[in-house]
Amino acid sequence: MNKIKQVSIVGVPMDLGQLRRGVDMGPSALRYAGLIEEIVRLGYQVKDAGDLVIEREATNPSEKGRLVNLNEVVSVNSELQEKVDRIHEDGVFPLILGGDHSVSIGSIAGIAKHYNNLGVIWYDAHPDLNTIETSPSGNIHGMPLAVNLGIGHPSLVNIGGYAPKIKPENLVIIGARSIDEGERELILEKGIKVYTMHEIDRLGMTTVMEETVEYLAEKTDGVHLSLDLDGVDPIYAPGVGTPVMGGITYRETHLALEMLAEANIITSADCVEINPILDNKNQTAEVATALISSLLGKKLL
């Protein structure tokens, strides 16, 4: 499906979707790791559209019934939606670099309007299906998938002027191993397809990806990959905001993205939650660079 040989990169140095500082440096870490040069070596024309300017005020503390930094997150994602929309209209592959995972609200809002049935692969240790009623923290980076399904605060849900952005039957979550009770209930209620670490261990990554591609290929007209580096085990990717032990290996993730490249179904992507403050010599950004390269077609031979 993806015949585009042009990539436009947008950095979103935002850490307002939660209270832990550092993921705002993710886009810089990825550029420093040589992401752009690696994509160019794969034969793509790359435009680095730079970073959105994030107006930061004092971080709002979490309070019961309150979303952390709601107005700021809405503002940034509204701007991102407009930018991604323009990139897609130009026929270019959008690659968005976070920032925390709340940036996928703007990413998908700018992308989904161009498809009748956008599919989404959510590669993450967390389903990110919380709402203000179920979230233990009020952090919006734990809510973007719910928002994209049309569930959540109206100012988030309606970014881009339409909702929902995606349908539950067009979604696959891969790598989940930290699921809140409210998220579990929503998964069961909506019939969302989830491959937890239990399924990955039992089936193997090859089967998981074959089933994922088959599940999405016939009923979607585009597929967005949202790659949260905490989906990878922190042994390989230590520099993430919310690490969870027992995750997907580095090699399994390479295989997953190589298989997506072979299936030729990915039409856009975001890469999020790299926190250089918690990293070891930029290891996680280097891992992410290698993984994105696999997604875009890099092979050993």
Residues annotated as catalytic (active site), given as ranges: 101, 124, 126, 128, 141, 228, 230, 273
Distance of alpha carbon 127 from alpha carbon 207, whole angstroms: 21
- Nearest partner of 256 among 297, 292, 301, 206, judged by Cα: 206
Rounded to the nearest 10 degrees, the angle between the axes of helix 103-112 and helix 70-89 is 40
Phi, psi at 278, each rounded to 5°: -95, 5
CB 270 within 8 A of CB 84: no
Under 8 Å between Cβ of 27 and 97 = yes
Q: Is residue 127 within 8 Å of residue 176, measured between CB atoms?
A: yes
Tell the residue number behind the tokens 């040989």, with chain if given.
5
225 residue type, one letter: L
Cβ atoms < 10 Å from Cβ of 75: 18
